[in-house]
Amino acid sequence: MRIAIPIVTLAWMVMVACSSEPQTTGAPYTPPISSSASAEPWPQNDPVLVAERAMNDSYQAWLAEPGPACRSDNLVAAQRDWEDALAHVQGGILAGGLADDELILADAAKNRGCTKEARAFYDNVIKIFTGTAYEGQRDRAKIGLDDLQAMKQSET
C-alpha cells in the first residue's frame, strides 16, 4: 500500500509534533501514541481514533509492565490496534501520525531490549510508508535498524 501526503501537511505535522511539551518529572519521557490519545473529547464512532485510543492504552499498559515484556499481550495488542487504525486510513495526516506511532512503539521496544519486535516495527514504517512525504519517518526507522545492528554487534 502506498500512502502520500502533501508537503504542507507534513510541515504542519512536524510543527504540531515539535510543539508538545515533554514531562518535567524525573521519570523518563514516554510520549503517548498519537495526539488523538489526549483527554479531549473525541468522536467515538471514528474507527481510527477508537483504534488509536486502544493502541495508546495497550502501549501505556506495556510500559508499566516490569522488565522488557517482549512477548506481552499489551505489546501485541498495541500493534494489532495500530494495524486496525492503518486499515481505516487512506493517506493524509492520519497516515503520517500512524507512522510516528509505529516509530514510538519501535523505539520503546528497542529501549526495552525487544530487538525482534523493534525490527518488525521499523520494517513496517519502511515498507508501508513509501511516499516522499514519509522520508523523515523512513530515515528514523533506518536509524533505529542501524541502532539495533550496533546493539547486536556490541553483544558479540
Asked if the model's pLDDT at residue 43 lies above 80, the reply is no
**What amino acid is encoded at 149 in this protein?**
Q
27 domain residue, yes or no: no
34 domain residue, yes or no: no
| Domain span holding position 116 | 43-155
- Give Cα 143 distance to the centre of its chain: 15
26 domain residue, yes or no: no
**Residue of 141, 146, 54, 66 lying closest to 106 (CA atoms):** 141
**What amino acid is encoded at 142 in this protein?**
K
87 domain residue, yes or no: yes
105 domain residue, yes or no: yes
Number of domains observed in the structure of the chain? 1
The Cα–Cα gap between 156 and 154 comes to 5
128 domain residue, yes or no: yes
0.75 cut: is pTM over it? no
97 domain residue, yes or no: yes
Asked if the model's pLDDT at residue 25 lies above 60, the reply is no
The Cα–Cα gap between 52 and 57 comes to 9
Lookup: cell for 95: 497516515
The Cα–Cα gap between 84 and 141 comes to 21
28 domain residue, yes or no: no
Query: Model confidence over 77-104: pLDDT tens digits?
Result: 999 999 999 988 876 777 888 999 999 9
> What is residue 46's predicted lDDT score, i.e. its pLDDT?
84
Query: Model confidence over 51-61: pLDDT tens digits?
Result: 989 999 999 99
DSSP letter (8 states) at residue 77: H
Residues 6 or more apart whose Cβ sits within 8 Å of residue 115: 109, 148, 151, 152
